[in-house]
């Protein structure tokens, strides 16, 4: 009985992991929405920020007028997602 219960638990756990991985695609475009993901180190270890659709566009617009390290990281990912134009290179 314990063996059958153990196998059942393992099968349920494996199925849940497969479902979680398949349903949370790492693709930047999901359901036609553009997403922005930024990973930043901090004093507490680090974190990941993520936004899609209109929230991502609002986040990119807000970060585009700031000059701190976090805003620069957001701006870089917004450019990758195609929300912000590429940075202009200064004339030499």
pLDDT tens digit at each of 92 positions of the chain: 889 888 888 888 887 777 766 665 555 455 568 899 999 887 778 888 999 999 999 999 999 999 999 999 999 999 999 998 876 544 44
Q: How many domains does the chain have?
A: 1
47 domain residue, yes or no: yes
**pLDDT score of 66:** 93
| Residue 37, in any domain of the structure | yes
For residue 61, being part of any structural domain is answered with yes
Distance, CA of 76 to CA of 72 (rounded, Å): 6
Given this model, what pLDDT does residue 80 score? Answer: 92
Q: Cβ distance 75 to 84 under 8 Å? A: yes
What is the extent of the structural domain holding 49? 28-87
Q: Is residue 8 part of a domain?
A: no
- Tell whether 76 is covered by a domain: yes
Q: Residue 5: inside a domain, yes or no? A: no
């Amino acid at each position: 009985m314990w063996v059958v219960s153990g196998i059942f638990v393992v099968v349920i756990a494996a199925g849940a992991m497969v479902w979680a991985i398949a349903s949370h695609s790492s693709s930047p475009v999901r359901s036609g929405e553009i997403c922005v993901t930024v990973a930043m180190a901090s004093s507490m270890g680090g974190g990941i920020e993520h936004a899609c659709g209109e929230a991502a566009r609002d986040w990119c617009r807000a970060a585009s007028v700031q000059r701190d390290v976090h805003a620069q990281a957001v701006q870089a990912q917004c450019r990758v997602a195609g929300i912000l134009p590429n940075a202009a290179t200064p004339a030499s």
